[in-house]
Chains A and B, each alone.
Chain A
Amino acid sequence: MTDLPDSLAAARPPRNQWWDVWDQFRSHKGALIGSVILALTLFSVLAGPWLWGVDPTFINIRMRDQPPSLAHPLGTDQLGRDMLARLFAGGQITIAVGMTAMALSILLGTLIGVLAGYFRRIDGPLMRLTDLFLALPLLPLLLLMVMLFREPLVGSFGPEGGIFALIVVAIGVTSWMQTARIVRGDVLALKEREFVLASRSIGTPARRMILRHILPNVMSPIMVSATLGVANAVITESALSFLGLGFPPDFPTWGRLLNDGLAYINLSPERVIWPAIALSALVLSINYIGDGLRDALDPRIRGR
């Protein structure tokens, strides 16, 4: 071991590569603002019900269709439920659906991508499967799945759990294809690298090879896909809810609130505007974060 010259050591102190990623991420203004907005949204949605303390499902028919006031800062809906509390409750479900559906889609995409990239024998069939899924008319299919399997699932898992499971699974199994393609491409390239050859030469089994050497190296594209996947899942869920095929009014999501408010748009347009703003801000901030993350995780751009 030779010691580094003092000047070199002083110029570049050893540091974790994630600090470089963070530095690059910080220089992307949109991503930074996006993170702040996302943090604020998450905080208000999680802490909001606790701070505001009004039951979003409490029906007070005498107080229906109220304009904004001190008691109800965003007014009340056609059944006298407090809109602010409903907005918080809706945000929780919206974000929960987005996260869970993304996790499922990333899991499927990574699994299929890694298997297709690593094992040549199943590469062809798995990629044909991916192509088939890409050729499916997704929105009609989603509508169909949700419409048709709603009743039996609600019957067996209850109205909230059943629809949650249905929507998460439906979004998950129709959105993994891009991730699988990206991951497969990266795995194919990684497989030819020397460290994989070295590790194979000492007899590493395929399972450990994938978990120890391949997966950590494809984390960057997976992280970017995951971020954009949340945005996509949130939009898809809201679209379903907006078309009246998502969550029931007792468990509103932002898309559902938008749909409910649409009937009263002439009377109180703010009932539509608030969920619309919340939804747009969430998706926009996530997309900006994804953009910044893509730049930050790309070593060719980093430190430029």
Chain B
Amino acid sequence: MLTFALRRLLMAVPTLLFISLVIFLLLELAPGDPVADMPLTIPPEVREKIRISLGLGEPMHVRYALWLYNLFVTEPSYWIDALFGTDLAQGSQRIISFQTRAPVFDTIAERMPQTLIVVGMGYVVGVLIALPIGIISAYRQYSVFDQIGTFISMVGFSVPTFVTGVMLIVVFSVWLGWFPSIYDTTLQVTDWPSFVKQMRQMVMPVFVLALYNAAQISRYMRASMLDNMTQDYVRTARAKGMSERVVILKHVLRNSMIPVVTVIALGVPGVFTGAIITENVFKVNGLGQQLLLSIQGNDAPMVLTISFIFAILIVLFNLIADLLYGLLDPRIRYD
């Protein structure tokens, strides 16, 4: 198990390097120029100086190596400095955004909480809805509940989040006026009324994401429960005279959770990347919205760093899913 984990971790390094290279080259090959948006009155020699000050004077491979060095050496040393008050970084150059001229990671740190709260909550709520629906659907297969549940999960799976989001805005913001359609990013939760306000503006984005995630997970949960329900050990448990509750919730559920847990783990990075759309529908100032803004603004360091964070999440959670599968199911041997 340990050797497997180590081998997978080692495998992840070239994968991540390859991904960062792909994104870097994509940005390089693009015709966009970060100084193109500046006023035309800037004389050419000053413009050239601005380009050099942005680090664009160096050849391609030097810039790529520099970015890697900054990401893995300079930035962590700044974090360690901030945590322990040491002086490892000694004022060296950080990764700077072209647009804001501020360190990329400062912006990411500002944006991360909104993404985590709204999008993370959406995922958690989705999982919490999906599990009971999947269990009941499987236990009462072909019942009315199952039919409706299957239909709703098909709808949630098929209808993209930007459609559900917009429909919710039409119904609950435009017609009924219950919830605000735009996420107020300046709101600070200090007392009870502001907390209620925060909850109200979170309802719709969380619901949209929850429906989408619940649709997929409940289908897996149902299929997995159905697979286990016909197994011999279930009949044995019933023959021993165990109550239906114990049979379903202890014996069947525990075994059915094995594949579902890995599916849940695999879905986590998708939550971050998929949330780009939801964040844009409700104007939540999270990471996804920042990524879109940076892509539109030709802000190469920001795009590269955020995309790379997404890639790390994907690789990391793939690894976690594999390890979880091995840990939960003793029949799986990795050696």
Interface on A for B, CB 8 Å cutoff?
30, 131-132, 135-141, 143-145, 147-149, 151-152, 231, 235, 238-239, 242-243, 255, 258, 262, 265-266, 269, 272-273, 276, 279-280, 283-284, 286-288, 291
Binding site for A on B (CB under 8 A): 15, 18-19, 22-23, 26-27, 29-32, 151, 154-155, 157-160, 162-163, 166-167, 169-170, 174-175, 181, 269, 273-274, 276-277, 280, 291-292, 295-296, 303, 306-307, 310-311, 314-315, 318
* Complexed CA–CA distance, A258 and B273 (Å): 21
Q: Is the CB of A141 within 8 A of B307?
A: yes
Q: Could you tell me if B26 and A279 are in contact, using CB atoms closer than 8 angstroms?
A: no
Which residues on A sit within 8 Å (CB–CB) of B159?
Answer: 280, 283-284
**Minimum CB–CB distance for A228 against chain B, Å:** 10
Where chain B touches its partner, the secondary structure class is helix
Query: Across the two chains, which residue of chain B brings its CB closest to A269?
Result: B170
How far apart sit A258 and B296, CA to CA, in the bound complex (Å)? Answer: 20
Partner of A258, one of B22, B29, B166, B276: B166
Query: 3 tightest A-B contacts by CB?
Result: A148-B30, A137-B310, A284-B158
B31's partner among A148, A276, A287 (CB-CB below 8 A) is A148
Complex-state Cα separation, A286 to B160, whole angstroms: 14
CA separation between A208 and B32, bound complex, in Å?
Answer: 47
Please tell me if the beta carbons of B318 and A135 are within 8 angstroms of each other in the complex: yes
| Contact partners of A243 in chain B: CB under 8 A | 276-277, 280, 292
Answer whether A137 and B174 are a contact pair too, CB < 8 Å, given A143-B295, A239-B160.
no
Q: CA–CA, A266 to B170, complex, Å?
A: 8
| Cross-chain contact of A287 among B18, B158, B280, B296 (Cβ < 8 A) | B158
Choose from B19, B30, B162, B174 the contact partner of A265 (Cβ within 8 Å). B174
Q: Are A276 and B163 in contact (CB under 8 A)?
A: yes
Shortest Cβ distance from residue A171 to the other chain B in the assembled complex, whole angstroms: 14
Given contacts A135-B318, A137-B314, A273-B167, contact A258 B162 (CB under 8 A): yes
- Whether B277 lies near A242 (C-beta < 8 A) is yes
Give every chain B residue within 8 A of A288 (Cβ-Cβ). 154
User: Taking A145-B26, A148-B26, A243-B292 as contacts, is the C-beta distance between A287 and B157 under 8 angstroms?
Assistant: yes
How many A-B residue contacts, CB cutoff 8 Å? 118
Q: Is the CB of B277 within 8 A of A132?
A: no
Question: What is the CA–CA distance of A238 and B303 in the complex, to the nearest angstrom?
Answer: 22
> Measured between alpha carbons, how far is A262 from B306 in the docked complex, in Å?
27
Q: Please state if B160 and A140 are interface contacts (CB–CB under 8 Å).
A: no
B160 contacts A235, C-beta separation under 8 Å = yes
Give every chain B residue within 8 A of A231 (Cβ-Cβ). Answer: 158
Residues of B within 8 Å of A255, CB to CB, are 162
Between A131, A141, A238, A288, the greatest number of chain B beta carbons within 10 A of the residue's beta carbon is seen for: A141
- Complex: chain B residue closest to A238, CB-CB: B160
Report whether A283 and B311 are in contact in the complex, using a CB–CB cutoff of 8 Å: no
Name the contact of B154 in the complex, choosing from A151, A152, A287 (C-beta under 8 A): A287
Q: Report the minimum CB–CB distance from A86 to chain B (whole Å).
A: 17
Listed by A's residue number, 29 A-B pairs whose Cβ atoms lie within 8 Å are A30-B151, A132-B19, A135-B311, A135-B315, A138-B273, A140-B276, A140-B307, A141-B22, A143-B291, A144-B23, A145-B26, A147-B295, A238-B163, A239-B162, A239-B277, A243-B276, A243-B280, A258-B162, A265-B166, A272-B167, A272-B170, A273-B170, A279-B160, A279-B163, A280-B158, A284-B155, A287-B154, A287-B157, A288-B154
Q: Is the CB of A144 within 8 A of B315?
A: no
Q: Does B154 lie within 8 Å of A144, measured CB to CB?
A: no
Query: Closest approach, in angstroms, between the C-beta of B22 and any C-beta of chain A?
Result: 7
**Contact between chains at A284 and B32 (CB < 8 Å):** no
Chain B contacts for A139, CB-based, 8 A: 273-274, 276-277
Give B55 Cβ to nearest chain A Cβ, in Å: 19
Beyond the given A137-B310, A139-B277, A148-B29, please list 15 additional residue pairs across the A-B interface where CB-CB is below 8 A.
A132-B18, A132-B19, A135-B314, A138-B273, A140-B273, A231-B158, A239-B160, A239-B162, A242-B277, A262-B166, A265-B174, A269-B170, A273-B170, A283-B158, A283-B160
Compute how far the CA of A148 lies from the CA of B29 in the bound complex, rounded to whole angstroms: 9
Which residues of the partner chain A approach B157 to less than 8 Å between Cβ atoms? 287
B321 to chain A, nearest CB (A): 12
Q: Would you call B306 and A135 a contact (CB within 8 A)?
A: no
Q: Which residues of A contact B174 (CB under 8 A)?
A: 265-266, 269
Q: How far is the CA of A139 from the CA of B307 in the complex (A)?
A: 10
Compute how far the CA of A145 lies from the CA of B166 in the bound complex, rounded to whole angstroms: 26
